[in-house]
Chain A
Amino acid sequence: MLGLLGALPLLALARPARAAAATPLGFGDLYGAVSVLGLSFSDKVKALAGQPVTMRGFMAPPLKAEADFFVLTEIPMSICPFCSSDADWPDNIVVVYLDRAQTFEQANRMIEVTGRLEVGSWTDPHTGFVSLLRLVGARFERA
């Protein structure tokens, strides 16, 4: 009995600790020179691929009220994240995939997201959403 009672708080505390080693990454760091071929990733992004990173930005108004993903933008989005250029992939957004689906309260507030950086084109089989840069297994909090 004693052991059981003792284990309860520990169980709750045993949630994965925030990745202490996450490298801060800014929107300005994402892409290198714009070449004739379009956007190319910066060396920093290439080096950090697969590593935990933290990014600060704004949560775009979510497309689904309960979802495991949202769009992180550099500037607050009453302005559309996909409208700054006609390109399908603007250079000032990152898609965030959370470790599980949840509802949101933080749209258009500054948040800090920590997750593993994934680089390269990938199509979400669930939504058909094509993204070039992603933070996966992510958690976020108000910055």
Chain B
Amino acid sequence: MLGFILADLRRHRWGVAAIALIVALATALGVAVTLQERAMRLGSARAADAFDLVVGAPGSETQLVLSSVFLQAAPLPLMPGRVLAGLLQDPRVAWAAPIGFGDEIDGRPIVGTSAPLLEGLGGLAEGRGFGRLNEAVIGAAVPLRLGDRFHPMHGHAFGVGLVHGGVTYGVVGRMKPTGTPWDRAVLVPIEAVWRIHHAEAAAGPAGPGGAQPDEGLDAPVDPSALLSPEATGLPAILVKPRTVADAYKLRRDYRGETTLAVFPAEVLTRLYGTLGDVRLVLAAIATGAQALVGAAILLAILVHVLQRRRQIGALRAFGAARLAVFSIVWLEVVLVLGAGLLVGVGLGWAGARALSNQLARQTGVPMPVGFMPEDAMPLALLLLAGAVVAVVPAVLAYRQSPAEALRG
């Protein structure tokens, strides 16, 4: 029987291929939506995993997390320097590190911070941490080498960045890969960022190659500078609490008039709620498309069965069991749908992979595309629906009177 089915499918291979392709595309749409949404969720969750608590000045929680954790540059309000001093001395804090933005090098952010963050992000793959103000540690994906020297550029506000011509950093270390946007960042001591911008503010807007206090950076890093109550204002501080209970308490204590403490996870969780709603809408669209495709295919198959009623009648006239005729038609339809479904799963996966890779290149956040056990359920339901729908043409063939079919 299977031999006959395969020969029959082979004979109608173009029609079969067209139907399977349409099924595949409809399936791929649903699969891609599921996979892509999951990839974005897991990618962002894993990128934020090293950051338990972020403290910033009051404002948008989402903006604070996007800027500090995902390094999506945006102007953030500053909080007083004494906040960092307070956190560093808090017994509930395992470590806390400032984050200061502003400069970049070839489109990669230069982030001013302190030594604990290097350990907090996973540590160094090679070289050493910055010991002097003009030393830099690069993320795993930054195309520089140890010993390279570079000039920072200030922002992109005017289309063409201004080069801090007089400032030169030397690369002394490289981070281990973290799978986060920090892989594309260049880390320098926060004091260096402070000094450059102080000097600029004092000297007024400087053109390219303007006078810069390069010699001011040729000094050792001084950890106590961060403890000074008069330290410069900061956009964000990353905090590692000692315990889970400490995390919740710190979050409460630093939500006030001057600071805003937030778990990146809670911002992401809110985002996932929205993302989940979007997924539901897209999934509904995909389901609608699948239903339409199903109806169109049912119609095509019904017409096909009617066109072949002579052949089907002949099968029975020559002694095929009625159940065999039913099974042949049913199995052919289910085989074609099943093949389309399988191809669709592959297509959906490939589509989500391509999109995720594109997003990963743009954001620096790797997006893991993968199936979960629960994905089998909707696919099984889809196949089940197909198997049920396939009964219609099969019954039509089953009810075909052989005498009438042969006469026709």
Contact = CB atoms under 8 A, between A and B. Distances in A.
A103 B334 contact: no
B272 A127 contact: no
A66 interface: yes
Interface string B345-389: 000000000000000000000000000011011011101100100
B49 A65 contact: yes
A70 to B, nearest CB: 10
B245 A104 contact: no
Chain B residues touching A, majority SS: helix
Contacts of B373: 15
Given A1-B2, A11-B380, A103-B272, A64 B45 contact: yes
Interface string B333-352: 01100100000000000000
A81 B263 CA distance: 14
B248 A104 contact: no
A9 interface: yes
B291 to A, nearest CB: 18
B377 to A, nearest CB: 4
Contacts of B379: 8
Nearest to B246: A82
B388 to A, nearest CB: 11
Contacts of B276: 105
B402 to A, nearest CB: 25
Contacts of B374: 15
A33 B248 CA distance: 27
B384 A82 contact: no
A5 B44 contact: no
B45 A5 contact: no
A71 interface: yes
Nearest to A77: B248
A21 interface: no
A65 B276 CA distance: 14
Interface residues of A, number: 32
B248 A129 contact: no
B42 interface: yes
B244 interface: yes
Given A61-B263, A66-B49, A128-B243, A80 B380 contact: no
A60 interface: yes
Interface residues of B, number: 42
A63 B384 CA distance: 40
B376 A12 contact: yes
A76 interface: no
A83 interface: yes
A107 interface: yes
B326 to A, nearest CB: 13
Interface string A6-41: 001101100100000000000000000000000000
A142 to B, nearest CB: 11
In this complex, which of A12, A62, A65, A106 has the most chain B Cβ atoms within 10 angstroms of its Cβ? A65
Contacts of A5: 334, 338, 383, 387
Interface string B256-292: 0000000111101110110010000000000000000
B381 A83 contact: no
Nearest to A130: B243
A105 B249 contact: no
Interface of A: 1-2, 5, 8-9, 11-12, 15, 60-67, 71, 80-83, 88-89, 103-107, 127-130
Interface of B: 2, 41-42, 44-46, 48-49, 52, 242-245, 247-249, 251-252, 263-266, 268-270, 272-273, 276, 331, 334-335, 338, 373-374, 376-377, 379-381, 383-384, 387
15 contacts: A8-B380, A8-B383, A8-B384, A9-B381, A12-B377, A15-B373, A65-B49, A65-B268, A66-B42, A81-B248, A82-B245, A82-B248, A83-B249, A89-B245, A127-B244
Given A61-B251, A65-B268, A105-B272, 7 more contacts: A8-B384, A66-B41, A82-B248, A83-B248, A89-B245, A103-B45, A107-B270
